[in-house]
Structures are given as structure tokens and as C-alpha cells.
Amino acid sequence: MSKRPFFHKARPKTVKPKPAAHPGLPARRRACDLVEAVLLRRRPLDEALELPTELDGLDRALARKIAATTLRRLGTIDRLLGERLAKGLPEGLPRLETVLRTAACQILFLDVPDYAAVDSAVRMVENDRKAKGFSGLANAVLRGLARDREEALASLDPLDDLASWLRDRWTAVYGAEATSAIAAIITAEPPLDLTVSSDPAGWADRLGGFVTPTGSVRLKAEGAIPDLTGYTDGAWWVQDAAAALPARLLGDIAGLAVADLCAAPGGKTAQLARAGARVTAIDRSPRRLERLMENMTRLKLDVTVRTIDALDLEGQFDAILIDAPCSATGTLRGHPDVMHLKSAADVEGLARLQARLLDRLAVLLKPGGRAVYCTCSLEPEEGEAQITALLAREPRLALDPIRPDELPGIAPFVTAAGHLRTLPSHWPDPDPARAGLDGFFAARLVFRGP
């Protein structure tokens, strides 16, 4: 009998390959982080999107789309989940709630396979130390929602997605019908509007879009903006069609000294400079002004930039544009986090700041100088009421009424008082990619002198 060798060749081990990362799971996890940044940590979505991530461009886009749509349709999502959770959700499990919300959003409103949304959600619940015991619940609720999707979609009411504080205010100001129309349009992802340096029709043709009645170029929001033709060359900049109107209301400003207060990120600054003005862009945020200066460099525009609070600005100008800090309730379609972060109390506080900015006009304008005051808010306290109060306390300023025929396409937006007021529901169209614009208010003033 032969001896067994002291050293023998070991049997090779069977090495199981590591399972590949579940496709789409990192993007969905990122979407949950973004939603929680807004709803739990009270952080604007744009700021949360700037947090570092290792996701590639496609996954970043998916995460953003899931998060923004969840915030946009949160009222409907919570109602439909509530109908399927007889006992409600357990206390102290915020991640479970966020996972259910974002998965329900995908099932109801996004073009993703149901199994991908459900499976990713279950995996995220299983990976949460506190919530893993509820993975079966998540699976059952989401599969049931997917099964009943058509019935659920048939029950939709856009007003469910409008924060109650806004629904009540807008119904009182604009009426129930207009409020319903606004609620309906802001449930859809907004189009991409561009302000072009020249030849809007030509750029619309090159980019596959169309020219709006007011001269902006509108595209369906797809892909990365820097990849679009003309971006690197500075031929255009992103600016909602409504936001592109106030600077144009200053008229011929070629060669004039113009102050752009609260200027960042610089869309209106670019308009003023393109019109030939000697622009001083004012903002108190160095970080935001960095972005403005990057934009001016890309657009090859020369402006003076000052990091200073507009309330501390000195000097005299031929014209002033005040794009005042506001509640931004006219921008909910592109910034759905606003209705979850702001409240009626914020409107009151911002209105006080706006009044202080308006009072600076009598100090900063030369005699005969003109100003445009604007906000991307639908709240009268930040618009019409501000101008009424200003004119009552400052007799040296007068309203210079906006005329319906002075700019192409603005006639539907000019009020009897001579203000400009756009609503998100203006420009209705069966195709959401063609419809609507931000809600804006603008008024033009002239300084009659000492």
C-alpha cells in the first residue's frame, strides 16, 4: 500500500462570482436620498442634486426624474398608498415611507417596468436595518398598486398634488377653475426654454423645437444641456419663457448704466448685456455669482459683478431690474420642492424684504430713470400689492404701464392695471411639452426725481 503524500494538491475551491449590482438600484437609492433631503432635511432639491455622487449621467438623470416626480405628485401618491395601508405605516421608519413613495411614483407616472420598481424597493427595504421586517408589506402594497394602476390613474385629481396652503390661496385669488388649470399643468415635467442671441427660428430648427409667441425657443427636456448644439459657443442660455420677459420691458438700454439686483444665476443679466447696457450684476451670494460669471464667460459677455447685499448698494443708474427674492410659487412645475418647503409665513417675510428693495429705487435711480420689479411668485403680496403700497408711500415713483402691443405675444399677460402677470396654465396645449410657462409678475416704474 502506497503512502499518501505528505503534501497533496488541494481540490480547487468553487468561487461564486459576486452578484452584479442590481440594475437601477443605485439610482433609485439616490432618488430616495433626494426626496428625504427635501422632506426631512428641508433642503432645496437643486442643492441636494449638487451633492457628490458616483452615478453616471443616465443614472443621475433617472434619480432626478424619480425624485422630482415624487415631489410633484406626492399628494396623489400618499392618497393611493394610504388606501392600501389599512393600519398606516409604522412610526419611526422614514426610509420605508420614502421607498414606497418613490416606487409608487415609478409605477404610476414613469415609463419603467413594474418589476424593476417593485424589486428595487423590496431590496432597499431589506437593506434597511430598521425596516427589513416590512419587505413583505412593501412587496404586497406595490404589486397591488401595479395591478390596480389603471383604476388608480382614473381617479386622479391634480388638486390632490397641490399643497393645501397654495390651493386655498389661489382659489381665493384666481378662482377655482384657474386653480385647477394651474394644478393640472404643474403635474407635468416642464419643457426646456432657451433665450437665443439671434435667429430664434433657425435655432428652433437646429434643435428640433419651436418658437414661442414671445420669442423663446422651446424644446422637450431631454438629455444633458451642455451636449446641445450651440451651448459651448454661447449661442443661447436656458431661461423660462416668462423669465425672459421682464428685462425686455426696460426698452432700449443700449449704452445705459443698468443695475441687475439679485442677479444670479444670470439669465436676465445676459439679456441686459446683449442689449448693449453697461451692466452691474449684484448678488450677496459668492457661490451663486461664481455660476453667473461662468455663464457670462461662456456667453462672451462683459459685465461688472459685485458681491454685495442689494440693500447696501450705492451709486446711481439709468435703469434697474429687481428680480426680487420670493416664494417662487410660480415655478412649481420645475421646482416641485417649493410647495413642500415654503409656507404662507414665508410669503409674509419675503414681502417685507421686497418692500425694502423697492424703497431703494428712489436712492439708486437717476431722475427719469426706469425700473422693472419682478418675482416668480403667484402671490399678490409679492406682486400687485407691493406696487400699490410702494406708490402710496413714495410719490417720486410712478407706474409706467406695460402696453399689450409693446412685445410680441404678451397681450394675454398684461392686466388692466398695466402689470404683467403670467400663470403656469397660460399657453394651453394637449402636449405638455408645448404647454405652459412659469408664473411671473412684473411692473415698470419711472423715477420722477427729487
Catalytic residues: 376
Parallel/antiparallel/unpaired status of strands 365-375 and 397-399: unpaired
Q: What is the 3-state secondary structure (H, E, C) of the chain?
A: CCCCCCCCCCCCCCCCCCCCCCCCHHHHHHHHHHHHHHHCCCCCHHHHHCCCCCCCHHHHHHHHHHHHHHHHCHHHHHHHHHHCCCCCCCCCCHHHHHHHHHHHHHHHHCCCCHHHHHHHHHHHHHCCCCCHHHHHHHHHHHHHHHHCHHHHHHCCCHHHHCCHHHHHHHHHHHCHHHHHHHHHHCCCCCCEEEEECCCHHHHHHHHCCEECCCCCEEECCCCCHHHCCCCCCCCEEECCCCCCCHHHHHCCCCCCEEEEECCCCCHHHHHHHHCCCEEEEEECCHHHHHHHHHHHHHHCCCCEEEECCHHHCCCCEEEEEEECCCCCHHHCCCCCCHHHHCCHHHHHHHHHHHHHHHHCHHHHEEEEEEEEEEECCCCHHHCHHHHHHHHHHCCCEEECCCCCCCCCCCHHHECCCCCEEECCCCCCCCCCCCCCCCCEEEEEEEECCC
Instruction: Give the number of other CB atoms < 10 A from CB of residue 205.
Output: 13
